[in-house]
Chain A
Amino acid sequence: MTPMVKAEGVHKSFGAVQVLKGIDLEVAPREVFCLIGPSGSGKSTFLRCINHLEKINSGRLSVDGELVGYRQKGDKLYELRDREVAEKRRDIGMVFQRFNLFPHMTALENVIEAPVQVKKETKAVARERALKLLDRVGLADKAGNYPSQLSGGQQQRVAIARALAMEPKLMLFDEPTSALDPELVGDVLDVMRGLAEDGMTMIVVTHEMGFAREVGDSVVFMDDGVVVESGNPRDVLTNPQHERTKSFLSKVL
Chain B
Amino acid sequence: MTTKIDKVGPVDSPPPAPENLKAIPVRHYGRWVSAVIAIALLVTLVLAFARGDVDWNAIPEYFFDSEVLRGVRNTVWITILSMALGVALGIILAVMRLSKNPVTSSIAWGYIWFFRGTPVYVQLLVWFNLGLVFNYINLGPIYKDEWSDFMTPFLAALLGLGLNEAAYMAEICRAGLQAVDEGQTEASHALGMSHAKTLRRVVLPQAMRVIVPPTGNEFINMLKTTSLVIAVQYWDLLQATTNVGQSTGATAEMLFLAAAWYLILTSVLSVGQYYLERYYARGSSRSLPMTPLQKIRVNLLSGSNRQGGASA
Residues of A within 8 A of B (CB): 51, 53, 82-83, 86-90, 92-94, 96, 98, 100-106, 113-114, 117-118, 146-149, 159, 162-163, 166
Contacts and interface: CB of A to CB of B under 8 A. Distances in A.
Interface of B: 181, 183-184, 186-195, 197, 201-202, 205-206, 280, 282-286
A166 B183 CA distance: 19
A86 B193 contact: yes
Contacts, number: 76
B206 A117 contact: no
21 contacts: A53-B189, A53-B190, A82-B195, A83-B194, A87-B192, A93-B190, A96-B187, A100-B181, A100-B186, A102-B202, A104-B206, A106-B283, A114-B192, A117-B197, A118-B191, A146-B282, A147-B283, A148-B286, A149-B286, A166-B191, A166-B192
Contact of A89 (B192, B195, B197): B192
Contact of A113 (B191, B195, B286): B191
A102 B194 contact: no
A148 B192 contact: no
A98 B184 CA distance: 10
Contacts of B184: 100, 102
Given A104-B282, A113-B201, A146-B282, A94 B190 contact: yes
B183 A100 contact: yes
A246 to B, nearest CB: 35
A87 B201 CA distance: 17
The B contact surface, by secondary structure, is helix
B216 to A, nearest CB: 19
A124 to B, nearest CB: 19
Contact of B187 (A92, A100, A104): A100
A27 B187 CA distance: 23
Given A83-B194, A117-B201, A96 B183 contact: yes
Contacts of B280: 104
The listed residue with most A CB atoms (<10 A of its CB), out of B184, B190, B192, B282, is B190
The listed residue with most A CB atoms (<10 A of its CB), out of B183, B191, B284, B285, is B191
A86 B283 CA distance: 27
Contacts of B187: 94, 96, 100-102, 159
A163 B181 CA distance: 19
B283 A104 contact: yes
Contacts of A149: 286
A98 B183 CA distance: 8
Given A103-B283, A148-B285, A82 B194 contact: yes
8 A-B pairs closest in CB distance = A90-B192, A100-B187, A114-B191, A94-B190, A100-B183, A146-B283, A89-B192, A104-B283
A105 B283 contact: yes
The listed residue with most B CB atoms (<10 A of its CB), out of A102, A104, A146, A162, is A104
A136 B186 CA distance: 25
B179 to A, nearest CB: 12
A174 to B, nearest CB: 10
A86 B206 contact: no
A118 B190 CA distance: 11
B286 A103 contact: no
Given A102-B202, A104-B205, A148-B286, A162 B186 contact: no
Contacts of A51: 190
A86 B285 CA distance: 32
A148 B205 CA distance: 16
Nearest to A85: B189
A5 to B, nearest CB: 15
A92 B187 CA distance: 12
Contacts of B282: 104, 146
B202 to A, nearest CB: 6
Contacts of B193: 86, 114, 117-118
Nearest to A97: B183
Contacts of B206: 102-104
